[in-house]
Structure 1
Amino acid sequence: MGWFLFIVLSLLAFHFPSEIYSLVPLCNHDDASALLSFKTSFSLEEHFFADGSCESYSAKTESWKNGTNCCLWEGVSCDTKSGHVIELDLWLQWPSSLSTFDLSYNNLLSLTSNDGGRYTFSDLEYLNLSSCNINTFPNFFSGLKILRSLDLSRNQIHGKIPKWFNRMGKDTLSSLDLSHNLLTSVKYLSLSWTNLGYIDLSFNMLEGDIPVLPFSIVFFSVSNNRLTGHISSAIFLDMQGDNFSGSIPKTYLEIETLETMNLNGVLDLGGNNMQDTFPIWLESLENLEVLVLRSNRFNGIVNCFKLNNSFPMLRVFDISNNNFSGKFPTTCIKNLKGMTVNVNNGLQYMKAEKHSSRYYDSVVVTIKGNTLELERILTTFITIDLSNNRFEGAIPTFIGELKSLKGLNLSHNRITGVIPQTVGSLNNLEWLDLSSNMLMGEIPNASTNLHFLSVLNLSQNQLVRMIPKGNQFDTFQSNSYQDNQGLCGWPLSKSCHMDKNQSTNSTTFEHNEQFGFGWKPIAIGYASGRVFGILLGYVIFFILKPEWSIRFLEGILNQRLSRKRRSRS
């Protein structure tokens, strides 16, 4: 019986591999030769870690050997019918034990030569050469006629983009990533690809005008460059960190040419030198979810009055570090319907529907007092940042309706009035910064209902009386309340026992005022009544002189005279 099972298992062992390999197409001979020639231009180097240690890892190209089926090589995919190579992915395979991944130390592959004219991959559709230490554009790219996606990010490609680059995948290319290189010019980049939807040129040294974009564009990023000019049509715009100057023309986003996106719309113009008023026409973008105008020179008032439902999907509203002035932008914030509904969909990121595998937008925001760059935006990340402007007026009470708000920063403005009790309704709030304003009154006790609040800054205002106690308020330090001369209680060194009775009386008066019966109406009524009484007496006794008053006085005089006569007698 044992020998029988051994024979059966042996037959199965030889049978299944043959069945599996029969499903794999035989590689085209010309494509295999081209890949082997291509392999010779790579050199394997060691990987050095930050602690000085080094270790060698094998690249995918080590499985590329003459006499074997190239369709079984790592990083190579073939058409199941023709056997032609249609996809080439040389992204390095890292061991599962690697916990730290720092691209600045990875030099495993080096493309040392540019003798690529003999390489022919006529059927290649997807090419990923990210982080391969390439320093020039390989010439064989010009022969990639049906290429759909090209990723050359995080290399050392320098200089200008060559003229022949535009001939690559002219009718098919939809995704192009040249980010994190050393490119200096886009002069010959015409962007004439008819289906191009994703372009990432960020983190280079590009200068000159921004290239004219096709109407098919969905994502365009040129952040951290030195470009100038303006863009005619795009949905996802990321120009953070450019030396972009001037105003935003309405053609920057032509409403009639915008493609409607169901999941995301991001407009990030942060960190430039733009000088303009608030672009009110942006409120027409119904699907805009992220609006970042931070760190520019925008000025004037901020109003949203053209539409009744402005920015209904907005989740990030950041116009900090500008020169905006005037009243608190109530008309804009009251329409932020996307912030009024609690979002509980787990760790999901904002992304474009058509390019979900490629798009992870990044924005620079201030979180809990620290300026950070978010490489991916959680759908639950909902914030308002109006800090470092010159807004005036009171915080509106409807701010408490923004239930899903995670962060609120109104610091360094000229906001007056009191902190509304409705702030206590922001159940998801994690950081609140109202510092460096002119707020008065007490800290509302309802604020202790903010169970997720981890950062609070109310410093440099005119707040008074006892600091509320309980829940998160027991964890905040004195720097959250400093430079408020009227505040007392823990964690401040100033005790509140001297003001306890005053605080109790004040609370009673405030309670009565809610029902219209406080001390102010009483004082006003008393003063008015006294003045009215004096005037009425003067009119009656000295002007009208009625008969009954004369008889009354004569009677009093007669009584006094009679008393004197009796006393004399």
Structure 2
Amino acid sequence: MMGWVSMSSLIIFLYFLLHFPSYNCLLCNPHDKYALSQFKNSFFVLNSSLHFHYKYGPCSSYSSRIESWKNITDCCGWDGITCDTKSGHVIGLHLYCSDLRGELLGLNSSIFKLRHLQQLSLTYNDFFGSSIHSSIGNFVNLTHLTLSAFRISGHLPSTISHLSKLEHLFISRMDSLPDDPTRIRIDDYTWNRLIRNATNLRNIYFGEVNMSSVGESSLSLLTNLSSSLVSLLLRGTQIQGKLPTDILRLPNLQKIFLTNNGNLRGELPKSNWTTPLRVLSLYDTAFSGYIPDSIGYLKFLHTLDLYGCNFDGFLPPSLFNLTQLSLLDLLNNKLVGPIPTQITKLSKLSILDLSGNMLNGPIPRGCYSLPSLWYLNLGSNQLTGSIGKFSTNSLQTLRLSNNKLQGNFPNSIFQLQNLINLDLSSIGLSGVVDFHQFSKLKALNSLDLSHNSLLSLKFENNFDCILPNLRYLYLSSTNVSSFPKFIAPNLQDLDLSHNTIRGSIPKWFHENLLRSWKNIGYIDLSFNKLRGDLPIPPNGIGFFSVSNNELSGDISSALCNASTLSILNWASNNLTGLIPQCLVAFPSLWVLDLQDNNLYGSIPDNFSKGNSFETLKLNGNQLKGPLPRSLAHCTNLEVLDLGNNNIEDMFPYWLEILTTLQVLSLRSNKFHGVIASFGTKLPFPKLKIFDISDNYFTGPLPVSYIHNFQGMMNANDNQIGLKYLGQNSLYNDSIVIVMKGRYMELTRILTVFTSIDLSNNMFEGEIPKVIGELHSLKGLNLSHNRITGTIPISLGNLSNLEWLDLSWNQLKGEIPLALTNLNFLAVLNLSQNQFEGMLPKGGQFNTFENDSYVGNPMLCGIPLSKSCKENKEKSPYSTLDKEESGFGWKSVVVGYACGMIFGIILGCNVFFIGKPQLLARLVERVLNVRLIRLT
């Protein structure tokens, strides 16, 4: 028995000897063990917001390694600890995903007592906003340093250059944004010393580290590492300037990641490029030029990511000699020409993205049969021809949208059993497609066939199309004439807009909204011919549009359950009743568009503080009453359109505190009174469209506001491309204005568009000279008022002005020659005033016709029939002239009625004072007021 026990003990001993590392037979160095114990006691567990990243992110399968650190055990056996097999010193500390939080590398950190460390990894921990102390330079034996953590900040100390044995350097901040001022930084001096001293560096990984001060000459020092450097990752580091091409030629370099450095320029080597490069990723940099033939010599290349650069020219055929390529991403460049037929050589290719270029010609047949391809995106090019026959089963994503393809829908798509995402929008498909065929694609998650005007989708309402995994369905502009019936329990987005669907919304759709579609977030049924009651959006939905239909009835109070709405667009229907109070209290609603309905009553007065409103359009209804003062709580408001209602109020001066407001339209209401500022330092600083026409405003023009219209003063001539108001593609801000004498709807509002319309009111006084400072102004309409005086010469400074309407006022004097400087002026209306003298010549004035000046009998010159050389005696007024100038039959009647009184007053004034001029002006003003009231 004793022999058996001895044998068992020997077996157990041998088992442990063979299965545990040799350092378990050693005793950990006491000094190092004490330092580790101190370190353990110096931190605390992460808070819940960061803890989420560990338990549900990349650290989900890990637990804190230091839980195994017990004083009763040898520290060489602790998780994350590696000891030297001879001395017992701690040489490796690997604490990734350990839930550590605190100043892990601060001044008092006991880690710095581990002087024999060779490898240090603190990935996925929290530095709690602390920086790396200069004592990091004491780890002179360090070969591997990995600090990829949260909230690491400050400068990388220059002492890091003391680590001359470094082979692997990985420093990254996990939660940093590009403009974060607290992100960790490395300056030019520290970089230079590091690269010069650490000559054994094999892997350099800097992620979200601010390297903006590192110059081009400093980057070129990387060529000193030609014998060692294997991997170079500088992601989101703000490096700028031109990268020396020789760095891409380093003889041992296998991986290059320079992504997310928008100001980093460079070109690909055109010769002598035979490196063992496996990964080349220049995503979102300013690299440019053409892709050279020399790229074909990178025989080991398997990943080429040039997404979002500025490469142009043709795709070189040599590119398709890279038989090891498994990812090719050239999205959003400026490439031209056809896709080479040699693409069939890339048998290992799994991802091919050539979208967002200017490629033309047909799609090569090889794209339909690559055996390993699971992602194919050729969208947003100029490809022509028809879609070929697919003969691969690996394809999961197919995107061919926004091309010039044509022909019938390819039925071979229904054989792609693994297809998850299909986007064939805007490509010119034709023919009839049985929608029920898509039920064969059981894995289908997203389907977009929008904007194929020649395509006709056939739905059999007697049969349900079952799409169990479908989440996104976009069928806009596909000639759908009846409401499609389908079963998709996981549906999130549905777009049936711009079709010809008639009749009422079916009952099953209402039921799905309220019961089945638990994850629905987006519904667009706009621009159809739907009738009947409104569908009620469920709670959880963010976007809901049924605009431009024929829906009617009141807005149900059940709408109040949909408090998650961000965009609600019910414009251009036949809706009646009141606006529910709850609607303006939704916390996340930033677009409310109820324009062009028959809503009545007052605007609700419970806009909450801190609301999200950016666009509020209630124009074209029958709303009345005063404006709610709680509108001032909409501090994010950019567009406010309340035009064409029956609102009766003074000017809402209390809105001038809205610093983001860019469009204000109160046209065609019953606003009245004098416009005066509330006293805000900069009222309406961003306003670009100001329309208060067709109201009853009186007094002088609102100079205090015009003087501060900063958004109209600085013309943005340097803006590249067209930019529109609003930052979300889900909704386009629009506005109806009088442009060049006609009502026009701007379906999208350019950020550079500015206009002022104060017409059809009762404004008095002169045109303020300060208007001439609004250099961005496109249109100015002051017509049909009582404005007097002359045209200020300063209006000649409005270099962007395209239309000017000053008609039907009481302006006088000569037309300033300075107006000929307005080179973009297309429409001018100065009719029905009291201008005199010669018409200006030159510039756009040579294009204006007689109707621009009608009703000004004292004007002369081309194109008028009256020559300035003719007899200058005043010609008799016509009946119309007398009417508009204030001396028609109405004035005669008033004269008879009031003549005696004013005659006596005037006579006495002459007799006693002898200065009738002042009183004469008073009489003229009183008569003028009465004449206008009589009209």
Using the size of structure 2 for normalisation, the TM-score is 0.44
Paired position in structure 1 for 2:556: 187
Q: Does 1:204 align with 2:573?
A: yes
For residues 66 and 145 of structure 1, what CA distance do their matches in structure 2 show? 21
Q: For residues 448 and 827 of structure 2, what CA distance do their matches in structure 1 show?
A: 48
Q: Secondary structure of the residue that 2:851 maps to in structure 1? A: helix
The question of whether the paired residues in 2 share the 8 Å contact of 1:70 and 1:76 is answered with no
Alpha-carbon separation, structure 2, partners of 1:75 and 1:275: 47
Q: What's the counterpart of residue 429 of structure 1? A: 801
CA contact (8 A) 1:161 1:188 kept: no
Is 1:237 the equivalent of 2:616? yes
Which of 839, 851, 868 is 1:496 aligned to? 868
Listed one character per residue, the Cα deviations across residues 396-418 of structure 1 (whole Å, up to 9, x for unaligned) are 11111000101111011000111
d(CA) in 1 for partners of 2:808 and 2:815? 15
> How far did 1:195 drift?
2.7
Amino acid at match of 1:487: L
Question: Structure 1 residue 19: deviation in Å?
Answer: 4.0
2:592 is the counterpart of 1:220: yes
Q: Residue 350 in 1 paired to residue 724 in 2? A: yes
- Counterpart selection for 2:470 from 82, 85, 90: 85
- Of the candidates 492, 503, 506, which is equivalent to residue 125 of structure 1? 492
Give the match for residue 636 of structure 2.
260
SS in 1 for 2:544: strand
Give the SS at the match of 1:190: helix
Q: CA deviation at 1:433?
A: 0.7
Distance in 2 between residues matched to 1:376 and 1:15, nearest whole Å = 42
1:140-179 matched pairs, under 5 angstroms:
140-142=512-514, 143-161=516-534, 165-166=536-537, 168=538, 170-171=539-540, 173-179=541-547
**Does residue 16 of the first structure (1) align with residue 388 of the second (2)?**
no
The separation in 2 between residues aligned to 1:74 and 1:273, in whole angstroms, is 45
Aligned-residue offset at 1:368: 0.7
Answer yes or no: is the 8 Å Cα contact 2:471–2:491 preserved in 1: yes
Distance of aligned partners of 1:191 and 1:348 in 2 relative to their CA distance in 1, 3 Å threshold? farther
1:540 aligns with: none
- Note the alpha carbon deviations across 1:389-439, whole angstroms, 9 max, x for none: 100001111111000101111011000111111111111111111111111
Corresponding residue SS for 1:361 = coil
In structure 2, the CA distance between the partners of 1:62 and 1:404, relative to structure 1 (3 Å rule), is same
Which residue of structure 2 lines up, in the alignment, with residue 249 of structure 1? 628
Deviation at residue 59 of structure 1 after TM alignment: 5.7
| Pair 1:297-2:670 in alignment | yes
Deviation of the 1:343 alpha carbon:
2.1
For the residues of structure 1 that align with 2:370 and 2:445, how far apart are their CA atoms? 16
TM-aligned CA deviation for residue 302 of structure 1? 1.3
- The one-letter code of the counterpart of 1:200 is N
Amino acid of the structure 2 residue aligned with 1:216: S
Do the aligned residues in 1 keep the contact of 2:595 with 2:619 (CA within 8 Å)?
yes
2: CA distance, partners of 1:11 / 1:476 = 67
Structure number with greater CO (CA < 8 Å, separation at least 6) is 1
Amino acid in structure 1 at the alignment position of 2:470: V
* Pairwise CA distance, 1:349: 4.5
C-alpha distance in 2 between matches for 1:84 and 1:434 = 62
3-state SS of paired residue (2:471): strand
Provide Cα deviations, 1:311-338, integer angstroms capped at 9, x if missing partner.
1100000011111111111111111011
Q: Specify the alignment match of 1:418 in structure 2.
A: 790
- 2:446, 2:471 within 8 Å by CA — same for their partners in 1? no
Secondary structure of 1:428 counterpart: coil
Measure how far apart 1:61 and its partner are: 5.0
Hey, what does 1:332 align to over in structure 2? 705
Cα distance in 2 between the residues matched to 1:451 and 1:121: 58
Closer, same or farther: CA 10–209 of 1 in aligned 2, 3 Å:
closer
Aligned residues: 432
Shift of 1:441: 1.1
Between the aligned partners of 1:10 and 1:485, the Cα distance in structure 2 is 81
Do the aligned partners of residues 195 and 245 (structure 1) sit closer, same or farther apart at CA in structure 2, a change above 3 Å counting?
same
Equivalent residue number for residue 399 of structure 1:
771
TM-superposition CA deviations, 1:148-183 (whole Å, max 9, x none): 111111233322235xx34x3x23x11111112222
Preserved contact between residue 125 and residue 147 of structure 1 (Cα < 8 Å): yes
1:481 equivalent among 844, 853, 867: 853
Q: Is the 8 A contact 1:64 1:73 kept in 2?
A: no
Q: Deviations over 1:124-171 (max 9, x none)?
A: 211112244053141323311111111111233322235xx34x3x23
Letter in 2 for 1:159: G
1:320 aligns with 2:699: no
Structure 2 residue ranges without an equivalent (≥5): 1-340, 349-365, 375-392, 398-413, 415-427, 451-466, 608-612, 873-935
Which string of whole-angstrom CA distances, capped at 9 and with x for unpartnered residues, describes residues 511-549 of structure 1? xxxxxxxxxxxxxxxxxxxxxxxxxxxxxxxxxxxxxxx
Q: Distance in 2 between matches of 1:197 and 1:19?
A: 38
Alignment of 1:76-115 (within 5 A): 84-93=469-478, 108-111=480-483
Deviates more, 1:186-195 or 1:196-205: 186-195
Change (3 A) 1:343 1:56: closer
Classify 1:68/1:480 alpha carbon distance in 2 versus 1 (closer, same or farther; 3 Å): closer
Equivalent-residue separation in structure 1 for 2:648 and 2:802 (angstroms): 32
Cα distance in 1 for partners of 2:791, 2:656 equals 28
- SS at 1:16's partner residue? coil
Query: Match of 2:513, SS?
Result: helix
Distance 1:410-1:254 versus aligned 2 partners, 3 A rule:
closer
CA contact (8 A) 1:364 1:372 kept: yes
Alpha-carbon distance in structure 1 between the residues aligned to 2:617 and 2:816: 40
Aligned residue number for residue 49 of structure 1: none
Tell me if the contact between 1:387 and 1:412 (Cα under 8 Å) persists in the aligned partners. yes
Q: Percent identity?
A: 40
Q: 8 Å contact 2:445–2:472 — kept in the other structure?
A: no
Q: Is the 8 A contact 1:63 1:73 kept in 2?
A: no
Residue type at the aligned position of 2:603: H
Q: What letter corresponds to residue 545 of structure 2 in structure 1? A: D
**Matched residues in 2 for 1:202 and 1:69: separation?**
37
Matched residues in 2 for 1:283 and 1:59: separation? 55
Letter in 1 for 2:704: T
- Please state how far the C-alpha of 1:477 moved relative to its aligned partner: 1.2
2:225 corresponding residue in structure 1: none
Match of 2:656 in 1: 283
2:216 corresponds in structure 1 to none
Contact 2:445 2:471 (8 Å CA) reproduced: no
Aligned residue identity for 2:671 = F
Q: Is the 8 A contact 1:237 1:268 kept in 2?
A: yes
CA distance in 1, matches of 2:677, 2:715: 24
Alpha-carbon distance in 2 for matches of 1:491, 1:87: 61
2:829 is the counterpart of 1:457: yes
In structure 1, C-alpha distance between the alignment counterparts of 2:817 and 2:777, rounded to whole Å: 19
**C-alpha separation in 2, matches of 1:83 and 1:389:** 60
Preserved contact between residue 384 and residue 407 of structure 1 (Cα < 8 Å): yes
Structure 1 residues 199 and 68: CA distance shift in structure 2, 3 A = closer
Which structure: greater strand fraction? 2
Report the Cα distance in structure 2 between the residues aligned to 1:499 and 1:405, rounded to whole angstroms.
Answer: 40
Note closer, same or farther for the CA distance 1:11–1:199 as it changes in structure 2 (3 Å cut): closer
Give the superposition deviation at 1:121: 2.9
| Structure 1 gaps, min length 5 | 26-35, 37-54, 94-105, 501-569
Please state how far the C-alpha of 1:209 moved relative to its aligned partner.
1.1
Q: Return the TM-score normalized by structure 1.
A: 0.70
